Amino acid sequence: MPQLLLNCKGRLELRLPKKPTSIAPSTVLETNNPVLESQIPAVRHFLRHARARKSRVDEKIASLELSLEDLYAESNELDTQIFQHQGAISPLRRIPPEIISEIFSLALSPDEGDWHLQESAPWILGAVCARWRAISLSPVFWTEISNWTGQFSLHKLTTLLDRSKSLPLRIYFDCVDGGRMTSLEKESLKLLVQHCARWERVTLRGGQKLYTRMQHLGPQFPLLQALVFDVCFVDKPATSSALDLFRQAPRLENATVNMGFYTDPVVLAFPWGQISKYRASIEWRTLGVLADAANLVDCVLDLGYGHKPDGRDIPVVLLPCLVRLAVSHCELVAYLKTPMLRELYCHDFGANYQLRNLGFFRSLPRTLTKLVMACTWPSLELGLVGLIEALPQLQHFATPQLFDGHVVCDFLQTAEFQRSALESLVVSIGDFSNEFLLDALGAVDWESVRLRTLRLASIYRAPQDKDTRLKALRDRGVKVDFLVAFPHDGHRRVVPEFFRIAH
């Protein structure tokens, strides 16, 4: 009976010879026994017909394989067409370019963080597909320039500047290498300065040659709003004079100067009347430059290693609008008049300034509501009770000083604490019984006090978070955290990043 084969081009009929039947017994075929003389013609007849049938079967197999190849090829082609047509009706495909552009700007161009260490978004987006590349060529994606990302080159910089059109630029330029500048850095800086009228947020780090080259180019910065300037000077200029480089910056409000080189204070001339945020490494005799910063709101001062002159030679500076202040040495506070100060972060890297008496705390403005003593005090004789008596308006207090657990528990029972404005307290305790501490916290009349956050840092074991006494405190609106860490780790969590000083 004929068999039919269906291929991609139609029906193909193959006729196979009749399947031959062997008369040789299994005792001969499956052993080494010889065949009988009378059986030899029949065996030869079988071989003839079997070989003919095998030849036709092989032809059929070859035909089937060709047909399968055609079918597999068509199947793959259909898969591709199905994928393409399915994508054509995808909701993502129908999103307007404006929405995709907005998503790109939110996801790939963060305002904070180490953006200068990451490859800029447009280079990545443009490699996905033609549509994304067309969207990624929008000038808004080419405004971030860093010589620390990817394979930086003059061609790459030129491309960024060209594609950003006339939009404001965000720049990170770092050439800290022993004060030297490579030929690439020199040419890159020259090209960047040609576009200084578009600088909006800029970080510049390098040696003295970086400053010298910029000064010779005579740039002006009509759009500059935020500046980080870290320059290590080999031949340090006179500290009594300010380096005149950024005076022509009518929109500058946020400036950071040499916080990365705190041993190398530098004074820059700014349009001080418009500066609202300022972080700098300073010297005692340059403190007076802040006298014109009448609108300063946030300030961080890191005192270098310079000799302190006689107190009569240090000016007292009035900062009428200052709200938040961080200092590396508490002694600086005595030379700043801050009638509106609300937050003070004292890192106190100095070893000689004494904080044992009430004088320092009583000299602080009555507006102060948050105090973080980010240092280990010599020995605070006035204690926590004396502190809130000196600063009755204080709402938030944190310190890494190690207190005895009994002292903290006794403080929470005092009438002074119950009358205080204290809302959060961060201190460190030593080896102390968790059972006693939890019982003491449970005995506090929390309804009559304002404290709602208590953070205790210790290098020892903390109570179990599922303890019923802790749950009872939380149910009453009191947040108690136990940090199993070194004492300094507790207060660092309440210091905003802008106000942190690290040596």
Higher pLDDT, 181 or 317: 317
d(CA 370, CA 372): 7
pLDDT, average across residues 22-34: 71
* Closest to 284 measured CA to CA, from 252, 256, 247, 309: 309
pLDDT higher than 60, residue 111? no
Structure tokens at 87: 């994508």
Q: For residue range 256-284, what is the model confidence (pLDDT) as tens digits?
A: 998 877 677 778 889 999 999 999 998 88
Q: Which of 233-237, 323-327, 351-355, 487-491 has the lowest mean pLDDT?
A: 351-355
pLDDT, average across residues 29-34: 76
pLDDT, average across residues 475-495: 73
d(CA 365, CA 362): 8
Q: For residue range 53-76, what is the model confidence (pLDDT) as tens digits?
A: 888 888 889 888 888 998 999 999
pLDDT, average across residues 441-456: 90
pLDDT higher than 60, residue 409? yes
pLDDT, average across residues 285-308: 87
pLDDT, average across residues 187-212: 89
Higher pLDDT, 368 or 131: 368
pLDDT higher than 80, residue 460? no
pLDDT, average across residues 7-11: 45
Torsion angles phi and psi, residue 207, rounded to 5:
-100, -170
d(CA 121, CA 133): 11
User: Which pLDDT does position 315 carry in this prediction?
Assistant: 85
pLDDT, average across residues 340-345: 96
DSSP state of 399: E
State what percent of residues in the chain have pLDDT above 70: 80
User: Which pLDDT does position 164 carry in this prediction?
Assistant: 93
pLDDT, average across residues 10-24: 63
Higher pLDDT, 387 or 243: 387
User: Which pLDDT does position 240 carry in this prediction?
Assistant: 45
Distances (CA, A) of 358 to 78, 364, 437: 85, 10, 29
pLDDT confidence of 163, banded at 50, 70, 90?
very high
Q: Which residues contact 37 (CB under 8 A, 6 or more apart)?
A: none
User: Which residue(s) pair with 231 in the sheet?
Assistant: 206
* Closest to 312 measured CA to CA, from 284, 293, 338: 284
User: Which pLDDT does position 241 carry in this prediction?
Assistant: 53
User: Which pLDDT does position 124 carry in this prediction?
Assistant: 80
Q: Which residues contact 50 (CB under 8 A, 6 or more apart)?
A: 20
pLDDT higher than 60, residue 239? no
Q: Which residues contact 124 (CB under 8 A, 6 or more apart)?
A: 108
* Closest to 195 measured CA to CA, from 220, 230, 229, 213: 220
d(CA 261, CA 230): 7
- CB-CB contact of 258 with 233 (8 Å): no
- CB-CB contact of 276 with 299 (8 Å): no
Q: Which of 344-353, 364-373, 445-454 has the lowest mean pLDDT?
A: 344-353
Q: Which of 11-15, 193-197, 247-251 has the lowest mean pLDDT?
A: 11-15
Mean pLDDT of the residues in the chain: 82
How many CA atoms are closer than 13 Å to the CA of 427, on its beta-carbon side?
A: 21
d(CA 295, CA 283): 21
pLDDT, average across residues 205-211: 82
Distances (CA, A) of 26 to 19, 33, 132: 18, 10, 73
User: Which pLDDT does position 38 carry in this prediction?
Assistant: 79
